[in-house]
Amino acid sequence: MARLMIEVDGLRVRFGKVDAVRSVSLSVEKGSSFGLVGESGSGKSTVLRVLAGLNPNWSGHLHIAGEEQKPQRAKDFFRRVQMVFQDPYGSLHPHQTIDRTLSEPLVVHGFDGIDTRVRKALEEVSLPAAARFRYPHQLSGGQRQRVAIARALISEPEVLLLDEPTSALDVSVQAEVLNLLSDLRSARSLTYVMVGHNLAVVTHLCSRIAVMQSGEIVETVSAEDLRVGNLTHPHTTDLHTFGVELEELMQTGNSPTGRPGQIASRKN
Amino acid sequence: MSTYPVTADSPAPLRSWLLTDSPDSRRQAAWGGAYRRWLQFRRNRLAMTGFVTVVLLILAALAAPLLATHAPGAQDLARRLEPPSTAHWLGTDELGRDLYSRLLYGGRVTLGMVVSVVLLVAPIGLAVGTVAGYAGGLADRILMRITDVFLAFPRLVLALAFVAALRPGVTSAVIAIALTAWPPFALLARAETLAIRKTDYIAAARLTGASPARIVLRHIAPLCLSSLIVRVALDMSGIIMTAAGLGFLGMGAQSPMPEWGTMIATTRGYILDQWWVPTIPGIAILVASLAFNLLGDGLRDVLDPKQE
């Protein structure tokens, strides 16, 4: 039990009359990284927001770090569990300098040596010291996402929740941010839960991946199985072939099998 | 940095210390930010005009005893309603009192009333609006229904009722105007808050474990401030007029005390024959309102860091 960082049992989330998430159960070991993949609207981000404590309307059982979590979280929970949002253009306060943004969690949790911690955090995500007193709009998308990662890590959490952290970024910057995330994980032995719709990105970072479809987990596979295509559920296979074909499409401009015909025809 | 013109009066080391790209400390960054904002504000001619006018008006009001040529209450019935002359720079009113001196002393009362109303109203409106918007649910409903009650009455009627219940005078007028002026600010702040509360950066602020009070105060209120300032600046002329209306009905500043609105109200019968008597305080009100509006517009631009 102590080896499990996150345990979700029978999680159910309703938005009005719609079941966004129905009976999701998953467990994440300490120090490992877990991916949640699915189409838009499959409920993957909703699960993540429940884990983060941003969505109080859920039922089921949730244990994080061995403690049962209620919809209302204790203050210390927010020190130990942090989140990186999808859109770095929307997740940083537009009227606060990077320095303010980074010191905010430290002030709230009563850390000392705020000045050196902020300096170190910027260094860790390889941002120049000159960025410290800038405003978010003066930074590029990749730099902003680094700030968001630095903010999430500055309170020294054990769990990092990643909501498609690279999907709003340029392809060339995506790899940088992903490498940064995987370096940080091994350096700090963090537990990751990552949500994404791009299988290539999720397999790059996660060792175990759950595939979601209309509010349910349909299959949980290892990154290895996914890479070689050792899959059982048809939806997973669909996502997989779609991802492969999309990649080839981007390289050649042609769909090799022509199976996701919509995409091929849209190109023509 | 080349966008800022180098002027001879600011020494280079201080300038470069203020405008450096990589400040060493928070203090330097804060001073640098303030200096940049000032430079930006200075480039806006209209805002500067408003700022200088407001400063001059306030200084003139504060220095009224030094600048005035006559006592504001000294009557000279033999020389009533005189046009401007060397003895009375702006003429005299219906009781032979010097208009220039009364205008200076009146500035103290009028500007003092406006400033105190704004100081009372803006924080109340901001607090009610942001709390209602962020808390939602029952708190939102209760606060908004209270706001609706205050909005339902015509401003002057409600102010009149309050002053009548209290004691006529400047203090009562300020309280009455403040009570009637805050609802629009609350609505504005609530609308802004509703748009802001759903954003990712507020979700991120909640994830730091900050209390709702801290989120409202440190993350939401600063974002509502810029539109609130514009609204306050636009409302200032309205506040002056309400004060004048109360004065005219005998519920505001009391008779011997010079107040711009009251000065117009008591001399409005002379508008055709001795037009300058009510016109001069009217011009003062116009200038003050315009200056506050221009200043508010300029401040809004400066308060948004994206405008740099």
Reduced to 3 states, what is the DSSP secondary structure of residue A36? strand
> Does residue A240 sit in the same domain as residue A153?
no
Please check whether residue B36 lies inside any domain of the structure: no
Please check whether residue B221 lies inside any domain of the structure: yes
What's the confidence (pLDDT) of residue A262? 42
Which chain B residues contact residue A149 at CB under 8 A?
none
Question: Which of A91, A109, A135 has its CB closest to that of B200?
Answer: A91
Are A25 and A11 in contact, with CB atoms under 8 Å apart? yes
Residue B10, pLDDT above cutoff 80: no
> Does residue A162 sit in the same domain as residue A257?
no
Instruction: Give me the residue label for tokens 């504060």.
Output: B62
Question: Which of A52, A90, A94 has its CB closest to that of B207?
Answer: A52
Which of A91, A99, A133 has the most B C-beta neighbours within 10 Å, making it the best mutation to test the interface with B? A133
Residue B6, pLDDT above cutoff 70: no
> Does residue A239 sit in the same domain as residue A144?
no
Dihedral through CA B266, CA B268, CA B269, CA B270, nearest 10? 110
pLDDT tens sequence across B117-171: 999 999 999 999 999 999 999 999 999 999 999 999 888 888 888 888 888 888 9
Across the interface, do A105 and B22 touch by the CB < 8 Å criterion? no
Please check whether residue B229 lies inside any domain of the structure: yes
Query: Is A266 near chain B, with CB under 8 Å?
Result: no
Residue B201, pLDDT above cutoff 50: yes
What's the confidence (pLDDT) of residue A169? 86
Closest chain A CA to residue B28: A133
Neighbours of B212 (CB within 10 A): 12
CA dist list (Å): B166 to B156, B207, B252: 15, 48, 11
- Spell out, as residue ranges, where chain A has pLDDT lower than 70: 1-2, 246, 249-268
> Does residue A221 sit in the same domain as residue A240?
no
> Does residue A239 sit in the same domain as residue A222?
no
Please check whether residue B33 lies inside any domain of the structure: no
Measured between its terminal Cα atoms, the distance across chain A in Å is 54
Number of H helices, E strands in chain A: 10, 10
Provide the H-helix boundaries in chain B.
12-19, 26-43, 45-62, 64-67, 99-135, 137-152, 155-165, 170-197, 200-207, 212-214, 221-248, 260-267, 276-303
> Does residue A226 sit in the same domain as residue A249?
no
> Does residue A30 sit in the same domain as residue A132?
yes
> Does residue A171 sit in the same domain as residue A182?
yes
Across the interface, do A133 and B23 touch by the CB < 8 Å criterion? yes
Chain B residues touching chain A at CB-CB below 8 Å:
21-23, 26, 29, 32-33, 199-201, 203-210, 214, 218-219, 222-223, 304-306
Neighbours of A263 (CB within 10 A): 14
Rounded CA-CA distance A41/A35 in Å is: 16
Mean pLDDT, residues B241-255: 79
> Does residue A258 sit in the same domain as residue A153?
no
CA dist list (Å): A257 to A128, A197, A260, B154: 46, 22, 8, 72
What's the confidence (pLDDT) of residue B104? 94
Q: Could you report the predicted ipTM of this complex, rounded to two decimals?
A: 0.86
Across the interface, do B206 and A54 touch by the CB < 8 Å criterion? yes
CATH number at residue A111: 3.40.50.300
What's the confidence (pLDDT) of residue B166? 87
What's the confidence (pLDDT) of residue A254? 53
What's the confidence (pLDDT) of residue A250? 66
Interchain CB contacts (distance < 8 Å): A and B: 80
pLDDT tens sequence across A219-232: 898 988 887 878 88
> Does residue A173 sit in the same domain as residue A251?
no
> Does residue A262 sit in the same domain as residue A197?
no
Structural domain of residue B258, as residue ranges? 44-307
What total of structural domains would you count in chain B? Answer: 1
What total of structural domains would you count in chain A? Answer: 2
pLDDT tens sequence across B39-80: 988 999 999 999 999 999 999 999 999 999 999 988 889 988
> Does residue A121 sit in the same domain as residue A249?
no
What's the confidence (pLDDT) of residue A265? 37
CATH number at residue B192: 1.10.3720.10
Please check whether residue B86 lies inside any domain of the structure: yes
pLDDT tens sequence across A63-121: 998 889 988 888 999 999 999 999 998 999 999 999 999 999 999 999 999 999 999 99
What's the confidence (pLDDT) of residue B1? 44
Please check whether residue B120 lies inside any domain of the structure: yes
What's the confidence (pLDDT) of residue B255? 74
Rounded CA-CA distance A162/B252 in Å is: 61
Closest chain A CA to residue B197: A93
Structural domain of residue A78, as residue ranges? 4-232
Please check whether residue B276 lies inside any domain of the structure: yes
Query: What's the CA angle centered on B97, arms B94 and B103, to 5 degrees?
Result: 105
What's the confidence (pLDDT) of residue B15? 87
Residue A79: phi and psi, rounded to 5, are -80, -35
Please check whether residue B243 lies inside any domain of the structure: yes
- Residue A35: HSE in the Cβ half-sphere, 13 Å Cα cutoff: 24
